[in-house]
Amino acid sequence: MALTIYFFSSINLQLLMKASTQLHSLSSQIAPSRKSTIGVIQLCSINDIEVNYSKIASFVKDCANKGAQLVCLPENFAFMGGTPEEMEKIKEPVEGPLIKRYAHLAVENGVWLSLGGYQEAIEGSTKRYNTHIIINDKGEIVNKYKKLHLFEVQMAQAGGLNLSESTFCEPGMELPKVIQSPFGPLGPMICYDLRFPELARSLVTRGAQLLFYPSAFTVKTGSAHWELLLRTRAVENQCYVIASAQTGQHNEKRASYGHSMVVDPWGDIIGQMSDKEGFFVCEIDLDYLDKVRGNMACLTHMRKDIL
Ligand SMILES: O=C(O)CNC(=O)[C@H](CS)NC(=O)CCC(=O)C(=O)O
């Protein structure tokens, strides 16, 4: 009898210990608020770090004044275009003054920043990484993601552009991480990554609920595919998709499509811009995301046994 009691109580103790470690690991994660406000900034960045920064600083302030807790900037927010010599000069490591300045901006405005892609220097190389940085409201870098898919197109004869990102960038070699945040689990990507559904799916399988595609889409490819791809990624992954974009004529050679957008997990566009610079704020609602996923649980219907 005494033995039996001991046996049961030891099981109970084990269960209790298991429950308390689970509780500990849950409480050490950030519990996201169910609703949050995000700001999306659309820019026509040029080859002038100061001009771009002062525009961004004022838009970030406007977003914060409208209640944004997270503000998203497009790819190449800090600098766009320029000669090879200029590009050589503006490359910086993550620890450099550029990212420090933007970390300051985050603290000043009490917001998180998604810095959608900047020219990260690579020691000993003439090339750079295209790196998406996420900074929290304390000014800490919470994530770095190096763009995996480099954009290569030959479309000048079809009324578009010839672009070969691999001539000046090295591709990233690591999957983006899912970042726990007060707004939900974030999945950072960049621009051309949008065309690769398996990357988004990998983030979503690991728990991402907000997918980020800061971009500088070309006018030709953007007018054909931008909205289609963003809404598709949202619908197939039952996620929020957040895409801040470059817009307009950056220099005589390069123009971007604009049309920054936030799409909800049902595929509806809940915030959008045309081709002007500016910003909008909109609401992220994780209860709504749960409802969409609960009503039609596509993500649990995957045939992992076959595919
Ligand atoms: O060139 C720079 O300085 C910065 N990088 C970019 O603007 C990148 C690579 S050229 N643009 C894209 O990925 C556009 C993708 C796109 O337009 C599509 O997928 O259709």
Which amino acid residue places its CA nearest to atom 1 of ligand 1? 165
* Contact between residue 37 and residue 285 where contact means Cβ atoms under 8 Å apart: no
From CA 286, how far away is CA 290, in angstroms rounded?
Answer: 6
Q: Where residue 118 sits, what CATH number does that domain have?
A: 3.60.110.10
Q: Is residue 55 part of a domain?
A: yes
Say which of 44, 72, 75, 146 is annotated catalytic. 75
pLDDT score of 31:
83
Cβ-based neighbours of 47, under 8 Å, separated by 6 or more = 79, 80, 81, 82, 83, 86, 250, 251
Residue 281: CB atoms within 10 Å: 20
Q: Is residue 305 part of a domain?
A: no
Tell me the average pLDDT across 268-273: 98
The DSSP element (H or E) to which 24 belongs, if any, is helix 2-28
Radius of gyration (C-alpha) of the chain in whole angstroms: 22
**Would the pLDDT of 248 be above 90?**
yes
Distance CA 49, CA 45 (A): 9
Exactly one of 63, 169, 191, 282 is catalytic; name it: 191
Q: Is 120 a catalytic residue?
A: no
Claim: this prediction has a pTM higher than 0.95: no
Mean pLDDT of the chain: 92
How do residues 138-175 score in pLDDT, each as one tens digit?
Answer: 999 999 999 999 999 999 988 888 999 999 999 999 99
The SS3 call for residue 63 is helix
Give the SS3 label for residue 10. Answer: helix
What's the pLDDT score for residue 4? 42
CA 152–ligand 1 middle distance (angstroms): 8
Q: How many domains does the chain have?
A: 1
User: Has residue 146 been placed in a domain?
Assistant: yes
pLDDT at 5: 44
Backbone φ and ψ for 293, nearest 5 degrees, come out as -70, -35
Q: Which domain holds residue 209?
A: 34-300
212 compared with 13, residue with greater pLDDT: 212
Quote the pLDDT of residue 264. Answer: 98
- Does residue 4 sit within a domain? no
Is 291 marked active-site? Answer: no
| Domain contains 100 | yes
Distances (CA, A) of 1 to 4, 13, 76, 187: 5, 18, 72, 55
Is residue 137 one of the residues assigned to a domain? yes
Band of residue 29 on the pLDDT scale cut at 50, 70, 90:
low
298 has catalytic annotation: no
pLDDT at 82: 82
- The answer to the question of residue 27 being in a domain is no
Q: For position 63, what pLDDT does the model report?
A: 98
In a domain, 188, yes or no: yes
Average of per-residue pLDDT across 274-293: 98
Supply the pLDDT for residue 13. 42
- Phi first, then psi: give them for residue 97, nearest 5 degrees: -65, -30
